[in-house]
Structure 1
Amino acid sequence: MKILDRYILTTFVKTFFPLFVIIMFILLLQTIWLFISELAGKDLDFSVILKFLTFATPRLIPMVLPLTILLTSIMIFGNFAENYEFAAMKSSGISLQRAMRTLSVFIFFVGIGAFLFSNTVIPSSEKRFINLRKNIVKVKPAMVITPNQFNDLGDINIKVAEKYGDNDEFLRDVIIHKKAARPGNFTVIKAVGGELKGNINSDLITLILNDGNYYDEIQQNSPQKRNRLPFAKTHFKKYVLNIDLSSLGNVDMDEQQYSKGYNMLNVNELQDQIDTLSIQVNSDMKNMTVEVDRRIGFDGLNKNIKIVDSLPKTSNDTLHIRDYFNTLKKVQIYQIASSTADGVIRKLNSTQKNLSFKRRALNKYEMSLHDKFALGISCILLFFVGAPLGAIIRKGGLGLPIVIGVVLFLTYHFIGIFAKNSAEEGGIPPFVGSWLSTCIVFPLSIFLTYRATTDQGIFNLDTFIQPIKNFFAKRSSKTKK
């Protein structure tokens, strides 16, 4: 490696690592602020908090690494141009392409490392991070009854619409699902209000429910009786429920229960999961079609009917049943048709919701797969945006380069967010959602690199101003004549 290449690479690395640490520290503080409600009031050990920060750090790399490369490139090449080091290189016969060659190789390996990191380290850390958050929630669960969502407390799942009072001890619109040995929610308790009593730091919580109903589904052995969905209902003015939380006192922070999230899988696992979800979606579509055809009698519509060519054709497809049946039969036919239509509509609505959920999950898995490849490519392209841009603006340091770099990256980042949100809802293909921002940066990198290597500015104002000057010059000359 020549002295010039070593100097450029050393200067880049010396700026890259401190800037990387600073940006990572800022985003870690933001992460702590986002999850402060899950950490506050838990009396967690320092080791648990350290694990939380350690597992949260890799998930920030897809945002920190491209931003650091962009800012470092602008700052370093801006310093070279501002201090006339590029002028000295050009006078020695060294072009901008030659000066960028060593760093281009370095950034290429950084891009490969970013892909490997996103394929191995990030899924593992994300798995541990999600499980650690789930385990932290179990610590003092009486303090984290979040309104408008089900909370797992001992042997019940509880949902409340609102908590109020000095210590949030009063509850409004309480719904409780009691756990049982058999899977499913067979016992449901609904109450207008409730109150938590006792020491919330103890292992026993007393929940007093007011003005509610107790629903218990009755299990039947006969299929005919089971289809009627029998249940027992009991109204109460006051119901006392003791919740034993002693089993939740000893929480294993290293327990791993969740491992199938779209951010927890590598490339091979994502491809398997995508194939599985695709088969399920196609199967659900096929089953829905078969079920609807069966309910409306489509399969047997033309069964045992012989088509006779001599029959007169009619343009009216409406069947007037009043001409063939009496009043009682008409009522029965209308009731059957109405019941069948309602069943088909319910089937279509439920299938649509299920397919919408699975398609959204499928889009997330596909975007996660493409994001692993897009990360490395974006690092390389942002270098070819920042390096020529720094050489063009000829300004280094922490002033103008930081402003320009942050504006460019925020534009790149927000385009990616909007594209991914649209792809998640099915507005655009997942492939486009992951690659749109990178595809926009690609022509920009070519344009800036070309302008910088040909010693041109970002925009040549003379191209627009000179025709105007010529026009007014001709006008003035004609006026003098």
Structure 2
Amino acid sequence: MRIIDKYILKKYLGSFFFVLIILIPVIIAVDISEKIDKFLRHADLTIGSIISDYYVNFIINIGNMILPLALFISVLFFTSKLAGNTEIIAINNAKISFTRFLKPYFIGATIVTILALGLNHFIVPNSSKIFTEFSNTYIKNKRVNLKSVNNVNLQLTKNEYIFIRSFNMERNRGNDFSYEKYEGNILKERLSADVIIYKEKDSTYRLNNFYNRKLQEAGDVMRYGRRMDTIFNFEPSDLLYVESLAKEMQTPELLDYIAKSKSRGRGNLNTYLVELHKRTSLPLASYILTLIAVTLGAVKRRGGIGINLTIGVSLMFVYVFMLKIVEVLGGSPDASPLFLVWFPNMIFGALAIYLYVNARK
């Protein structure tokens, strides 16, 4: 690696972490001023708990959220300074092409991308779980109901379905249970019960006041009774469907949940798919944002660094706005999450290529 590469890479990473270190304390100070009265309402809430459960995870979440903005501003700022100090002119006079000039930038972008991928896929989900639970308990004073579910329809296999009017997750007990088995569109068996109880010890289900009817060509076979123990291909946790849990699952767990939910006929999983694709699209945007920032900053303008920053920050606001829009649209039932999540990267990727071609000239 040449001296110039080390110099630019050091500037790249140093400026990036410097911007993060500057922005995060400011955001924390604003958040404290807004939340201090809510913290004081809870006598059982200690400073240690606020720091460890809330602000440690707040820093992880907010740092991951502003990472693209911090990266773009830092690269644009120090590249504009290089141009302002005529260092880029000197590099050009040394017969170093613009493409070769980009090499240390992309090495830096690769380091940031790997860091962001690790955060998005593994660290942030665990952090979000603790942060959300704390916020719901002490700040928003609300909790997501994970103790019971109502009106559940679940597909166990291609031909088997269950329906439960209500199920208590703490007691593993449900009411108005129905199981149906089909061959094509023809109903072959129906099993219903007033009460269903999951026995965790042996992973079986107990049906109280059941009625079983099997439809056969020779004649229907009917059976009923007060109690029956049987096995079904689902667990109580499979009945729970809360969209906000997508942010709290590590990627392997999220992939497993999506695959299992698809096989069991879950309706709209787009919110989970948006979260899954976003965890990769945002880190990889580091390359696009780096290229845009360099091509903008490498041009020495009459207005100096201020003009470059104004253009860059405006572009970033458009990018962040598009991210929020596609995240909302991607969760709708008829949307294509994969396309929508990557759409901002496509648009800004095309812009980056256009700026790069012009910068080479």
TM over 0.5: yes
Could you tell me which residue of structure 2 aligns to residue 46 of structure 1? 47
Could you tell me which residue of structure 1 aligns to residue 298 of structure 2? 391
Could you tell me which residue of structure 2 aligns to residue 429 of structure 1? 336
Partner deviation per Cα, 1:242-282 (whole Å, 9 max, x = no partner)? xxxxxxxxxxxxxxxx9981112222211111122223336
Deviation at 1:34, TM superposition (A): 6.6
Query: Does the 8 A contact of 2:16 with 2:74 survive in 1?
Result: yes
Deviation at 1:9, TM superposition (A): 1.9
Deviation at 1:222, TM superposition (A): 8.0
Could you tell me which residue of structure 1 aligns to residue 315 of structure 2? 408
Could you tell me which residue of structure 1 aligns to residue 165 of structure 2? none
For 1:249-268, what aligned pairs fall within 5 Å after superposition? 261-268=245-252
Could you tell me which residue of structure 1 aligns to residue 85 of structure 2? 83
Q: Say which SS state the counterpart of residue 4 (structure 1) adopts.
A: helix
Could you tell me which residue of structure 1 aligns to residue 2 of structure 2? 2
For 1:438-477, what aligned pairs fall within 5 Å after superposition? 438-454=345-361
What residue ranges of structure 2 are gaps of 5+ in the alignment?
Answer: 146-169, 176-207, 212-241
Q: Distance in 1 between matches of 2:3 and 2:36?
A: 49
Deviation at 1:182, TM superposition (A): 9.2
Deviation at 1:67, TM superposition (A): 0.9
Could you tell me which residue of structure 1 aligns to residue 257 of structure 2? 273
For 1:307-456, what aligned pairs fall within 5 Å after superposition? 355=267, 359=268, 362-394=269-301, 399-454=306-361
Deviation at 1:54, TM superposition (A): 0.3
Q: Distance in 2 between matches of 1:259 and 1:130?
A: 13
Q: Distance in 2 between matches of 1:29 and 1:81?
A: 34
Q: Distance in 2 between matches of 1:431 and 1:32?
A: 37
Query: Does the 8 A contact of 1:120 with 1:266 survive in 2?
Result: yes
Query: Does the 8 A contact of 1:55 with 1:129 survive in 2?
Result: yes
Query: Does the 8 A contact of 1:78 with 1:395 survive in 2?
Result: no
Q: Distance in 2 between matches of 1:275 and 1:395?
A: 55
Q: Distance in 2 between matches of 1:26 and 1:269?
A: 34
Could you tell me which residue of structure 1 aligns to residue 191 of structure 2? none
Could you tell me which residue of structure 1 aligns to residue 13 of structure 2? 13
Query: Does the 8 A contact of 1:273 with 1:365 survive in 2?
Result: no
Query: Does the 8 A contact of 2:243 with 2:272 survive in 1?
Result: no
How has the CA–CA distance of structure 1 residues 411 and 34 changed in structure 2, closer, same or farther, with 3 Å as cutoff?
farther
Q: Distance in 2 between matches of 1:382 and 1:30?
A: 27
Amino acid at match of 1:54: V
Q: Distance in 1 between matches of 2:265 and 2:172?
A: 28
How has the CA–CA distance of structure 1 residues 277 and 259 changed in structure 2, closer, same or farther, with 3 Å as cutoff?
closer
How has the CA–CA distance of structure 1 residues 274 and 447 changed in structure 2, closer, same or farther, with 3 Å as cutoff?
same
Partner deviation per Cα, 1:321-380 (whole Å, 9 max, x = no partner)? xxxxxxxxxxxxxxxxxxxxxxxxxxxxxxxxxx4xxx1xx1111111111111221111
How has the CA–CA distance of structure 1 residues 395 and 370 changed in structure 2, closer, same or farther, with 3 Å as cutoff?
farther
Query: Does the 8 A contact of 1:58 with 1:125 survive in 2?
Result: yes
Q: Say which SS state the counterpart of residue 428 (structure 1) adopts.
A: coil
Q: Distance in 1 between matches of 2:293 and 2:29?
A: 26
Percent identity, aligned pairs only, is: 24
Deviation at 1:36, TM superposition (A): 5.7
How has the CA–CA distance of structure 1 residues 431 and 27 changed in structure 2, closer, same or farther, with 3 Å as cutoff?
farther
What residue ranges of structure 1 are gaps of 5+ in the alignment?
Answer: 138-143, 153-179, 186-220, 225-257, 283-354, 455-481
How many residue pairs get aligned? The number is: 273
Structure number, greater radius of gyration: 1
Q: Say which SS state the counterpart of residue 392 (structure 1) adopts.
A: coil
Instruction: Calculate the TM-score normalised by the size of structure 1.
Output: 0.51
Amino acid at match of 1:57: I
Kindly report the root-mean-square deviation, in angstroms, between the aligned alpha carbons of the 2 structures: 3.3
How has the CA–CA distance of structure 1 residues 73 and 272 changed in structure 2, closer, same or farther, with 3 Å as cutoff?
same
Query: Does the 8 A contact of 2:83 with 2:298 survive in 1?
Result: yes
Amino acid at match of 2:298: A
Q: Distance in 1 between matches of 2:137 and 2:128?
A: 14
How has the CA–CA distance of structure 1 residues 393 and 10 changed in structure 2, closer, same or farther, with 3 Å as cutoff?
same
Deviation at 1:119, TM superposition (A): 1.2
How has the CA–CA distance of structure 1 residues 439 and 124 changed in structure 2, closer, same or farther, with 3 Å as cutoff?
same
Moved more, 43-52 or 410-419: 43-52
Query: Does the 8 A contact of 1:78 with 1:396 survive in 2?
Result: no
Q: Distance in 1 between matches of 2:351 and 2:114?
A: 22
More strand by share: 2
Q: Distance in 1 between matches of 2:88 and 2:321?
A: 34
Q: Distance in 2 between matches of 1:81 and 1:425?
A: 45
Q: Distance in 2 between matches of 1:440 and 1:102?
A: 24
For 1:67-106, what aligned pairs fall within 5 Å after superposition? 67-106=69-108
How has the CA–CA distance of structure 1 residues 367 and 29 changed in structure 2, closer, same or farther, with 3 Å as cutoff?
farther
Q: Distance in 2 between matches of 1:223 and 1:364?
A: 37
How has the CA–CA distance of structure 1 residues 272 and 92 changed in structure 2, closer, same or farther, with 3 Å as cutoff?
same
